[in-house]
Structure 1
Amino acid sequence: MTETATVAAVLGRMSPNLELNQNVAERRADGDDIVHLGFGEARLPVFGPFAQALAAGARHNAYGPVNGAPRVREAVAGYFTRRGLPTEAPQVITAPGSKPILTALQLVLPGDTVIPAPAWNSYRPQAELAGKRVLPVPIPEACGGVPDPERLREIVREARRRGADPRTVIVTLPDNPTGTVASPETVRELCAVAEQEDLVIVSDEIYRDLVHDPATPVLSPAEVAPHRTIVTTGLSKTLALGGWRIGAARFPAGDWGERAHRGVASVASEVWSTLAAPMQEVAAYAFDEPPEIRQRLAASARLHGAVARAVHGIMTDSGALCRPPTGGFYVYPDFEPVRGALAGRGVADSASLFQYLLDEHRIAVLAGHHLGDDPGALRFKAATSLLYGDTRELQQQALEATDPVRLPHVAAVLDRIRDCFAKLGA
């Protein structure tokens, strides 16, 4: 496929997770009772102080600096510094979500792009829109979010022999779609390959603060290879502000980092201009991390972990292979062990498994082939963050509960999921 044809193909379709979410919303509006596991939104009420900060920021209606107001950039710099990445405000840029920053990086960074397989479904089209070739590399057996380091080296070298020009590798810590955190050892190995092969690392750390167990170590590639790593983050997942669109990035210190930062700022100036001024008020407050924000983060991580583990148990009890979730709010089961039983139901690949679950059980998931996985595999992503209740009151109960999976409204939907999957291997 030519570069023009690839771009045209991307422009001819909607992002599959957003399309699925829209379709589920329409079917529910028509009265269809669907359990939604197909969309990665942290479905929690808006934290009261955020609404207050937004109201306070409503009086600001000027555009402001492209990179973000000084106060916001200082707050983001402090956020990264507290996570072991000493950062100054000039290294930071803000944006309406991390997604535009990731797209801008594809326009700015040279060469082709390496992504894990499977991976978040927007990495590939973002690179393809920038005219790049995409090289998927399988993830390690133990975790997702990073390409297997040994395979990374092999595939990069083979791609160069064939005339491709891989120059950037994207990693996700913790991972979407597997809900796992790569070990420090794996991150160090990946950084070693990046050094040997001269790869820029883009580390998507939007789930960084949703590690389920505070004792789980999270090592950013920027701690190991600071001169070649750009880190992106945002408030969509950790603080449930997806619709408010607040993102940020940290660039390396030094000449190369400054050039990359200027490139993204140039794209920003032509595309989104600046993060909306009222949202900058929210961002400054959130990234400053006063005690109530830290408490909210801890409560959110506990809730996400409890429900993700419950869904993981349902999947493995039904015969699936599945990595135990350790961060974020996803599980990624593999139903290969019950392929024979599923074949009797007309299920032979990820697309037919998705359709079977939706048509026969009214359960929506995101099929693995949309995430760059083998279309013939029986894998999908299940987002567990939409199971906390359909009202703000129920969601708040789940957030405050010591054992949220025992709440009647959460237990009821888990029972429905359990009933469905118990039948798959029967």
Structure 2
Amino acid sequence: MKNPESYLSETAARLRPSGIRKFFDLASNMEDVISLGVGEPDFVTPWGIREAAIASLEEGYTSYTANAGLIELRREISAYLQKKIGVKYDAGQILVTIGASQALDLAFRAMLNPGDEVLIIEPAFVSYAALVTLAGGKPVTIPAPAENGFKITPEQLESAIGRRTKGILICSPNNPTGTCFNKEELAALAEVIEKHDLIVFSDEIYGELTYDGEYASIAAIGGMKERTIVISGFSKAFAMTGWRLGYAAGPKPWIQAMLKIHQYAAMCAPHMLQHGAIEALRNHEEDVKKMRDSYRRRRNYLVAALNKIGLDCHMPGGAFYVFPSIQKTGLTSEAFAEELLKKEKVAVVPGNAFGESGEGYIRCSYATSMEQLQEAIRRIERFVGTLLPGKKGGNEGTAKAEYMNV
């Protein structure tokens, strides 16, 4: 038999492993590490949601559901989206998936022909380009500069569109930068999108975690519902990452195409967990608000503390990440992350894991306790103090002082 690797498909062989998981795996093998790496709520799923799933098991809900998901859940998602983003979908326009990641995968596979291009605003979540590639498409990145708040302009979008451009992926609030597009900015991009007859893959998984002003979805802009697939789920807002429940909403022919692939690839999302999702949407808005308020306080603390110790950091509008610049230190993103982990046992994700535009930055998740964030800042300050002239390492006052100003 030949080398086993020689049997791999060219696509799988070329696929790069996640840069996020690399540092998480390194940190998991070390003691006394504070991880600001993986984007996962530090809250446990609210009890009422867990209780609903347990009760469904006790009542014997262990069979398959309809491939698209329980009709009750799809109706709840419909009502929820109408309230959240102001767009009405019927149950036939909604597909329940195994996480938002599967919804994105299905959307790309249903919509892309070989060689079709998808524009991706970068820095971008690590799976986007990979999923486009796996679907036979070609990812094309549009750099979003820090000086513009990590947003692109209509002019940038216009210049990036080519003969094979099929659509654009918009993630707002963004992972890794936390940037949010407001309604006016989305409307300006929508003009270009409509002009070139593009479709939109709108990743709104962090939509509930918006801190300044109302959340805006591009699907709510006139004419955009018909050319947008809204992707979301329960992982981030409801602290249900391990449940792996997501959904997609969009034009019925597109959702039906995604459903056909879903039928063959996964059959349906787990029955009992869908009952938990129904409970989440019906009765746990207050829990989401409490978690969001906690994240907001942590965001305010972390941004102020990072800026004070010399790492320029913009104020993110949503999600639970900050994306500070480490360019002043003279280190690359990977070198900074590796040295910080080795010397101070703080795990962050190097910015280049999110594309070339992320070089010179690191991603820090504040989905961890305030006590852990304060200790992380003390350690980061010590480390930065060894790199930046005029900055003394080990200033224990920063963490407390900035916390008092939150």
Question: What is the TM-score with the length of structure 1 in the denominator?
Answer: 0.83
Residues 131-146 of structure 1: matches in 2 within 5 Å? 131-139=136-144, 141-144=147-150
1:307 maps onto 2:298 in alignment: yes
Cα distance in 2 for partners of 1:50, 1:131 equals 38
Structure 2 residue identity aligned to 1:362? K
Secondary structure in structure 2 of the residue aligned to 1:78: helix
Equivalent residue number for residue 16 of structure 1? 19
Partner residue in 1 for 2:333: 350
Amino acid at match of 2:297: A
Whether 2:307 is the aligned partner of 1:316: answer: yes
CA deviation map 1:253-303 (0-9, x unaligned): xxxx22211111011111111010011101111122x2xx11111111111
Q: Which segment drifts farther, 366-375 or 85-94?
A: 366-375
> 1:23 and 1:57 mapped to 2: Cα distance?
38
Query: Match of 1:210, SS?
Result: coil
Q: Give the Cα–Cα distance (whole angstroms) in 1 for the partners of residues 177 and 156 of structure 2.
A: 19
**What's the counterpart of residue 123 of structure 2?**
118
Structure 1 pair 422/240, CA: closer, same or farther in 2 (3 Å)? farther
Consecutive unaligned residues in structure 2, runs of 5 or more: 1-8, 390-406
**Runs of 4+ with deviation above 6 angstroms:** none
- What residue in structure 1 maps to residue 245 of structure 2? 246
The code of the aligned residue for 2:19 comes to: P
In structure 2, the CA distance between the partners of 1:368 and 1:152, relative to structure 1 (3 Å rule), is same
How much has 1:125 moved relative to structure 2?
0.4
Aligned residues of 2:41 and 2:239 also touching (Cα < 8 A) = yes
User: Which residue among 355, 358, 370 is the counterpart of 1:372?
Assistant: 355
CA distance in 2: counterparts of 1:309 and 1:418, whole angstroms: 17
Q: Secondary structure in 2 aligned to 1:208? A: coil
- Residue 236 in structure 1 maps to residue 239 in structure 2: no
Paired residue for 1:128, among 130, 133, 141?
Answer: 133
Question: 1:151 and 1:6 mapped to 2: Cα distance?
Answer: 29
Deviation string 1:369-408 (CA, Å, 9 cap, x unpaired) is: 1101347x321111111x21xxxxxxxxxxxxxxxx4xx5
| 8 A contact 1:210–1:327 mirrored in 2 | yes
2:143 is matched by which residue type in structure 1?
A: P
Q: How many angstroms apart in 2 are the aligned matches of 1:149 and 1:423?
A: 42
**5 Å matches for 1:57-68?**
57-58=56-57, 59-68=60-69
Conserved 8 A contact 2:344-2:379: no
Residue of structure 1 in register with 2:398 after alignment: none
Matched residue, 1:382:
364
Correspondence for 1:36: 35
Instruction: Give distance in 2, aligned partners of 1:169 and 1:278.
Output: 34
Give the AA of the match of 1:274: C
| C-alpha contact (below 8 Å) 1:305/1:326 kept by paired residues | no
The two structures have a TM-score, normalised by structure 2, of 0.87
| Whole-angstrom CA distance in 1 between matches of 2:102 and 2:384 | 37
Q: Is the 8 A contact 2:326 2:333 kept in 1?
A: no
8 A contact 1:184–1:217 mirrored in 2: no
Q: Which runs of 5+ in 1 are unaligned?
A: 252-256, 389-404
Compute the RMSD of aligned alpha carbons: 1.8
Letter in 2 for 1:143: G
CA distance in 2 between counterparts of 1:320 and 1:417 reads 10
Contact kept? 2:120, 2:142, Cα under 8 Å = yes
Q: Which amino acid in the other structure matches residue 272 of structure 1?
A: A
Q: Aligned with 2:187: secondary structure?
A: helix
One-letter amino acid of the structure 2 residue matched with residue 219 of structure 1? A
